[in-house]
Amino acid sequence: MLISTKPKIKPYLAALCLGFVLPTLCIMWFMYHSMQNERIATEQKLKSIYYKDALKSLAAVQQLWNSRTRSYFEQQASDTNSNTGNTSSTNNTNQNYGKLFSEIIQQDYVDSVILWKPDGQVAYPNATTNTSNAPIKHPLWQKAQHQEFYLKQHAQALQSYKKLKALIPKYDTQHRQKQAKILLAMARNAYKLNQLKQTGLYYQQLVDTEQKQQALDSNVRSTAMDARLRIAELNPNEENLRALATQLNDYQHKQMPASQRLFIAQRALAVAKQAGIDHLTFPTIDAEQLAQNILKNKQTRATLTPRTGATTVNSEHIALHTKDKRITLLVNKHLLADTFTDEFQHSYSGAKLNINIISANDNSASAEVFMKIPLNDRLEGLTFVADWQNRTTLHDSITAKTWLFLWTGSMVIAILIISSIYVAYYMNRQEKLHQLKNDVVATVSHELKTPLTSIRLLIDNMLEDSDCPQQTVREYIEIISRENIRLTHLVDNFLTYSRVERDQHNFYFDTVQAEQVIDESLEVLAEKFKQQNVTLHKIMPKNSDEILFEGDKDMLKTALINLLDNACKYSSDDKHITLECQTIYDHKNGSHIVFSVTDKGIGLSKKDCQRVFNRFFRADPYLNRKTEGCGLGLYIAAYIARAHNGRIDLQSTLGQGSTFSLLIPTTASTD
């Protein structure tokens, strides 16, 4: 077989690079640097424009926050002064702190607030002190305490507490506080005795007792609120939880330490979640949590000492202080930046800015940012930072002329590139087609030469030997007939390939007997198998004569002959081929007739298994020179299988052999 070499296309690629690619790259390089220079000049011009607008916007935002902090200060002063002269000034002042905290949070300007006393101590959120300043020194109290905590006699302790409660009068606040302590002890022992209903009644009495007296100091833990929580835990219904939430959200009339309020709110939410109640809300719970967490951190708290200006307390929040240094606003950095963004919406031809607020001593901002402006007044200690959202394309959005020039140049270059690629692709394709034609001609010539030569020699022998015995003549004629069949098979393969390539092949479907297809295929290859000492094992089912299906018998014979011929060619000297026919069925694919051809030849690698059904593909270059064939057999066989809505499965191990399985549905489509 003639072996031709592929035409080299490297000269085309070299000419393409020298004549087009290099000049194009040079043009793009010059365009890039020109646009960089234009960008720098334009950015300087824009900076002067933006800077003036930024100063106006910063002044407006600073005035906004000055007015907010001033209004809080005035509100706090007004609330305090409105209670001057009240006999319960201590309680009212405490009430004003909680009320002011709630009102500031509800305005949605800040995430949390810290209120300070005139002496610099934290006023709110405040810590918890003892639940009562009314100690009980009665001997019966001492006895009940001993029974409860040392003897663990809860029933006796409960009776002692009941007797003591009857002895305590109820006519003043101090006695009511003692009554509350006794009721709390009674509820505690009733709960330990598993008297849940009685426990709830004691807690309810505790709530009623505190409602009858004046509001306690906000630093004193509210036993009534603890009792309400215990009632909700004992009976977690919506009514109890809503009553508890109402009391917690009432900062004006219901005083308690901030830590107690936060704990009860968190516990109430947990109880509501367990009870399946998902609409319980505490608007200030996050603010309470944030303020208390910041105050717990000693290092952070040190930076919150009331001062003029602003400080950074953590990665998310900035502290702003009122003029009197009595109120610290904990503002989210993003909210503060959004305030500047809303005010500073200036845009020039589509160029946008990212705005951020950082601490004055924060060096995280890049030195190449567009603008950095220190703030003053209430925002002193912070820095306004603005930078482009997309610095690399700034000049594109500014200079229409440069933008148009860039697009025009890019489009021209793109068209030239596409045209060059197409030309190169077309030339390469033409070379491949030319090579394919040469391969087809060489293959046809080589494959047809062998049977024609055999026929010619046999005819010459008969012509030269006039006394040739009749038996010999008959043998010659039989060989000529078989060679003619082989020649016909080769021609059919080439014609089939031609029709496949032009998609003009017609299939004629009829009822086909599987055994007949196999026998006629083997008859075509019988002489070849005999000459090459092929050992053939044919495995047929018992009812092989009953296996019928719809198909094109001639095309199926062609496919099966190609599979058998391929197994013979690529087997070793000791050729063993197994041909098996069977029917299979599965719910997904239905019923199929399977023709399996197994050989013990050279096998195929995994890579070759993926390409073996390509046209003109030969697995082993060395065998290309030793083995007859043109690389069309498996290609045509796969095409015939697809035409019958079937397929060819391949299992192969390199060096051990291959199994090709032709699967045809029992009812083939004629599409």
Domain boundaries, the chain: 400-474, 506-665
Q: How far apart are CA 12 and CA 424, in angstroms?
A: 7
Q: Give residues with Cβ within 8 angstroms of 158, minimum separation 6.
A: 186, 189, 190, 193
625 or 643: whose pLDDT is higher? 643
Q: What's the farthest any 2 CA atoms get from each other in the chain?
A: 154
- pLDDT, average across residues 117-146: 76
Q: Mean per-residue pLDDT for 489-501? A: 72
Q: Structure tokens of 196? A: 């849940």
**Cα–Cα separations (whole angstroms), residue 161 to 205, 386, 440, 492:** 14, 69, 113, 113
Contact 582, 594 (CB under 8 A): yes
Phi and psi at residue 141, in whole multiples of 5°?
-65, -45
Tell me the mean pLDDT in the region 523-539.
85
Cα R_g (the chain), whole angstroms: 49
Residue pair 186/161 in contact (Cβ under 8 Å)? The answer is yes
596 confidence band (pLDDT: 50, 70, 90): very high
pLDDT of residue 39: 66
Phi, psi of 587 (to 5 degrees): -65, -30
Nearest to 251 by CA among 459, 88, 105: 105
What are the strands, taking DSSP E only, across 352-432? 353-359, 371-374, 382-388
CA 80 → CA 72, 100, 258, 318, 378, distances in Å?
12, 10, 19, 27, 23
- Provide the 8-state DSSP code for 373: E
Per-residue pLDDT band at 595 (split at 50, 70, 90):
very high
Which two three-digit tokens encode residue 608?
A: 């070759």
Q: Which two tokens stand for residue 108?
A: 């949605």
Which residue type occupies 14?
A
What's the confidence (pLDDT) of residue 349?
47
Question: Can you list the alpha helix ranges (DSSP code H) found in 333-399?
Answer: 333-343, 394-398
Mean pLDDT value across residues 5-13: 53
Residues 228-248 have a mean pLDDT of 84
User: What span, in angstroms and rounded, lies between the C-alpha atoms of 308 and 73?
Assistant: 13
User: Which residues, including other chains, have CB under 8 Å from residue 116's CB and lie 6 or more apart?
Assistant: 122, 123, 306, 325, 326, 327, 328
Q: What is the pLDDT of residues 357-371, one digit of tens each?
A: 776 666 665 556 777
Could you give the C-alpha distances from 324 to 68, 117, 291, 534, 647, in angstroms and in order?
13, 11, 20, 109, 88
Cα gap 60→47, rounded to integer Å: 20
- DSSP secondary-structure letter at 348? B
Higher pLDDT, 329 or 424: 329
Q: Is the dihedral of CA 329, 334, 338, 344 positive or negative?
A: positive
490 or 548: whose pLDDT is higher? 548
To the question of pTM greater than 0.75 for the whole model, the response is no
Which residues are paired to 351 by β-bridges?
Answer: 348
Instruction: Give the up-direction half-sphere exposure of residue 248: CA atoms within 13 A in the CB hemisphere.
Output: 30
Return the number of other C-beta atoms located less than 10 Å from residue 442's C-beta: 15
- Three-state SS string over 628-650 comes to CCCCCHHHHHHHHHHHCCCEEEE
307 φ, ψ to 5°? -155, 170
If one compares 210 and 417, the residue with the highest pLDDT of the two is 417
pLDDT of residue 19: 61
Please name the amino acid found at residue 227.
Answer: A
Residue 579, class by beta-carbon neighbours within 10 Å (0-12 exposed, 13-18 middle, 19+ buried)?
A: buried
> Which residues have C-beta within 8 Å of that of residue 78, sequence separation ≥ 6?
none
Q: Would the pLDDT of 170 be above 70?
A: no
Residue holding tokens 């295929």? 521
Cβ atoms of 570 and 629 within 8 Å: the answer is no
* Spatial separation of the C-alpha atoms in residues 389 and 351, rounded to whole Å: 8
Q: In this structure, are residues 591 and 584 in contact, taking their beta carbons and an 8 Å threshold?
A: yes
**pLDDT at position 660:** 92
The whole-number pLDDT of residue 274 equals 87
Query: d(Cα 604, Cα 231) in Å, to the nearest integer?
Result: 80
Closest CA to 512 of 591, 593, 597: 593
pLDDT band at 443 (very low <50, low <70, confident <90, very high): low
**What CA–CA distance (Å, rounded) separates 446 from 222?**
107
Q: Which of 419-423, 439-443, 511-515, 642-646 has the lowest mean pLDDT?
A: 439-443
Phi and psi torsions of 379, nearest 5°: -100, 15
Query: Which residue has tokens 């967490």?
Result: 293
- Other C-beta atoms within 10 Å of 1: how many? 17
Q: Which alpha helices (DSSP H) does 344-399 contain, by range?
A: 394-398
- Give every strand in the sheet of 535-539, ordered side by side: 535-539, 576-586, 590-599, 657-665, 647-653
Least confident of 97-101, 245-249, 345-349: 345-349
Write down the pLDDT at residue 2: 37
- The arrangement of strands across the sheet holding 371-374 comes to 353-359, 382-388, 371-374
Residue 125: cis peptide before it, omega within 30 degrees of 0: yes
Residue that wins the pLDDT comparison between 238 and 403: 238
SS3 of 579, please?
strand
Q: What is the DSSP string of 593-639?
A: EEEEEEE-SS---HHHHTTTTSTT--S-HHHHTTS---S-HHHHHHH
| Residue 597 pLDDT > 90 | yes
Element (H, E) at 588: none
**Percent of the chain predicted with pLDDT > 70:** 72
Q: What local confidence, expressed as pLDDT, does residue 3 receive?
A: 37
Contact 639, 661 (CB under 8 A): no
Distance, in Å, from the CA atom of 382 to the CA atom of 347, rounded to the nearest integer, reads 24
CATH of 506-665, one of 3.30.300.30, 3.30.565.10, 3.40.50.300, 3.40.50.2300: 3.30.565.10
Residue 131's pLDDT band, with cuts at 50, 70 and 90, is low
Round to whole Å and give the CA distance between 414 and 411: 5
